Structure 1
Amino acid sequence: MNTSELPPVICIMGPTASGKTDLAMQLCDHLPCDIISVDSALIYKDMDIGSAKPTDEELAKYPHRLIDIIDPAQSYSAADFCRDAKREIAEIRSNGRIPVLVGGTMMYFKSLLEGMSPLPNADAKIRAEIIELAEQKGWHHIHKLLAEVDPVSAQRINENDSQRLTRALEVYRISNKTMTELTQIKGDTIDGKVLQFAITTTERAELHQRIELRFNIMLEQGFQAEVEKLKARSDLNENLPSIRCVGYRQMWQHLNGEMDYDEMVFRGVCATRQLAKRQLTWLRGWPELNWLTTNDETNLQKVLNALK
């Protein structure tokens, strides 16, 4: 099958709580399509409430691929996602169906659509050494070390962003090449037609309200008990990517006694709003995007029209 005959790929991006999943499920009611999750929190098993994972009823009716695929103790990179997503896209297309990629992890989308740079796999020993050094001298020191070898990445990464600082310095120590150098090399992208949509609210205040409402619903659904169960495991800790997910980190710290319940709620909502702001910053510079508005009843028709 040549690329012009391949079913198109539909991408639905947007900040958290903007209505991406609802639109994807509507598409499934009107098109022969299958959903692939593009979300770095939904990959984890036993992390359902705080990640706003679709309900069992929704997943039964609208199955999502790349959900519940690894344990919270495991790591999963953008390269892992690209490998898995390409496999799922190929399988869906081979069945004559349309892949619908939906989520808010922009690095996953970027890596898939622009090609994955040849970054080395994570090295647990080197990563542990960096984290230990940060605990001794602070993340400011790690940022300074990164600036000495990769000033471009250091300028781009905030000194409080421990996850990205660790990764950037880890890449250099493994490969002796900077992340800046390696990210300029691009790999394979998706063949065929790709339609890209971004959905968000017209006003920032509305998105903030949706985020706060959803966080409070999570709490009512038993989010604290979910994190208590994770915390009872001896193999999980606050430095793991799974526990650093928005909401989980704040609840974990609350359970550690580092803040009271109200402070946890406040910080959890703030962290989610900051995540949404970063997602929108990515999207504003994104090429070939079709913008949609949350709760606009014409969104479905706009996607269907684009397919024609």
Structure 2
Amino acid sequence: MTSVWIGLAGPTAAGKTEAALAVARALALDGRPVEVVSVDSALVYRGMDIGTAKPTAAEREEVPHHGLDLLDPHEAYSAARFVADAQAAIDHITARGALPLLVGGTMLYFKALVDGLDAMPEADPDVRAALDAEAAERGWPALHAELARVDPATAARLKPHDAQRIQRALEVFRSSGRPLSSFHRREAAPTGPRPTLISLEPGDRAWLHDRIARRFAAMLAAGFLDEVRRLRARGDLHPGLPSMRAVGYRQAWEALDRNDHAPDLGALSERGIAATRQLAKRQLTWLRGWADRRPVAADAPDAIDQVVQAVRRSL
């Protein structure tokens, strides 16, 4: 069955978790329980808590959360699996008489749930290993040039060193014989009304940049590097995995590669903050292309109250 839900999206560090908890508390007073479904490609991984700003145990005890800690970091997740997992959670939450509130910043997941996606080939470890070997020998710009020949639409939106996305696009092409862009042209959209999407978008980019910097500093103070050290010590993880390509983790892994005992925290912070800013920029670009979203200025003094009221108006 297809259930009604409300989405709360926004760039990283825009205050989505705080706003979601405020919505749940406010609606509880109205007699309408809320359960959160995560829309985040990094929060699915167990043992990746500090660098993903995963909701705390206390927050998860106060408001039920779904879509967290689903996989081990050596596994891969996909938009197709997210749609299946999220729809199952939405149906169960609705059956309990609660409101599903979908919260996160992985915009492809929101789009897949609302508009549908053609079924793409599953991850192929052999193809990925071959691409990694080619990249080590020729470099990712050379593979980007190859992608431009077989899938110019996808290559045009990727930078020559965007290893994760170049690899996935070439993997899809080699596995299926179809360019990745062709899977997004046809939309198998679910029937029924489109869900409400509330979008936290800062009016002042400097406000968001400051929050990103402060959050990265707080993560380091909370033991982020030790978290990455524990992941490295397992021995079965490597920088090519989707989990370890997550913003922050990639930069921390590289810093520990350079000097595990005394990494350059200044350089790590600079790289981590820059990568997070780029992620936020991509997220905002996605959101601003979503014509029927309901934007709320994340940097407004009453931003959380505005989100709560926007949710109430949507019910």
TM-score tier after normalising by the smaller chain length: over 0.9
- Give the TM-score of the pair, scaled to structure 1: 0.94
Task: Label 1:191 to 1:96 Cα distance change in 2 as closer, same or farther (>3 A).
Answer: farther
| Amino acid across the alignment from 2:37 | I
| Aligned-residue offset at 1:185 | 2.4
| Aligned-residue offset at 1:151 | 1.3
Which residue of the partner structure matches residue 36 of structure 1?
37
Which residue of the partner structure matches residue 211 of structure 2?
210
Task: Label 1:72 to 1:301 Cα distance change in 2 as closer, same or farther (>3 A).
Answer: closer
Which residue of the partner structure matches residue 306 of structure 2?
299
Farther off after superposition, 217-226 or 153-162: 153-162
- Give the TM-score of the pair, scaled to structure 2: 0.92
Q: Count matched residues.
A: 304
What is the CA–CA distance in structure 2 between the aligned matches of 1:166 and 1:36, rounded to whole Å?
29
Offset from partner CA, 1:32-72 (integer Å, 9 cap, x none): 22100001111100000000001111111112100011000
What is the correspondence of 1:95-106 to structure 2 with a 5 Å cutoff?
A: 95-106=96-107
| Amino acid across the alignment from 1:302 | Q
What is the CA–CA distance in structure 2 between the aligned matches of 1:149 and 1:196, rounded to whole Å?
35
What is the CA–CA distance in structure 1 between the aligned matches of 2:38 and 2:168, rounded to whole Å?
23
Task: Label 1:301 to 1:25 Cα distance change in 2 as closer, same or farther (>3 A).
Answer: closer
| Aligned-residue offset at 1:160 | 1.2
| Aligned-residue offset at 1:201 | 2.1
Matched, 1:140 2:136: no
What is the CA–CA distance in structure 2 between the aligned matches of 1:301 and 1:90, rounded to whole Å?
23
Task: Label 1:301 to 1:87 Cα distance change in 2 as closer, same or farther (>3 A).
Answer: closer
Which residue of the partner structure matches residue 82 of structure 2?
81
| Aligned-residue offset at 1:192 | 4.5
Matched, 1:125 2:136: no
Task: Label 1:34 to 1:305 Cα distance change in 2 as closer, same or farther (>3 A).
Answer: closer
| Amino acid across the alignment from 2:291 | P
From 11, 17, 33, the counterpart of 1:15: 11
| Aligned-residue offset at 1:289 | 0.6
Which residue of the partner structure matches residue 27 of structure 1?
23
Farther off after superposition, 171-180 or 100-109: 171-180
Runs (4 or more) in structure 1 with deviation over 4 Å come to 190-193
What is the CA–CA distance in structure 1 between the aligned matches of 2:162 and 2:69, rounded to whole Å?
26
Task: Label 1:138 to 1:66 Cα distance change in 2 as closer, same or farther (>3 A).
Answer: same
| Aligned-residue offset at 1:89 | 0.9
Q: Unaligned stretches of 5+ in structure 2?
A: none
What is the correspondence of 1:251-290 to structure 2 with a 5 Å cutoff?
A: 251-257=252-258, 260-290=264-294
Task: Label 1:190 to 1:306 Cα distance change in 2 as closer, same or farther (>3 A).
Answer: farther
Tell me the C-alpha RMSD between the 2 structures.
Answer: 1.6
Q: Is 2:22–2:308's contact at 8 Å kept on the other side of the alignment?
A: no
| Aligned-residue offset at 1:130 | 0.9
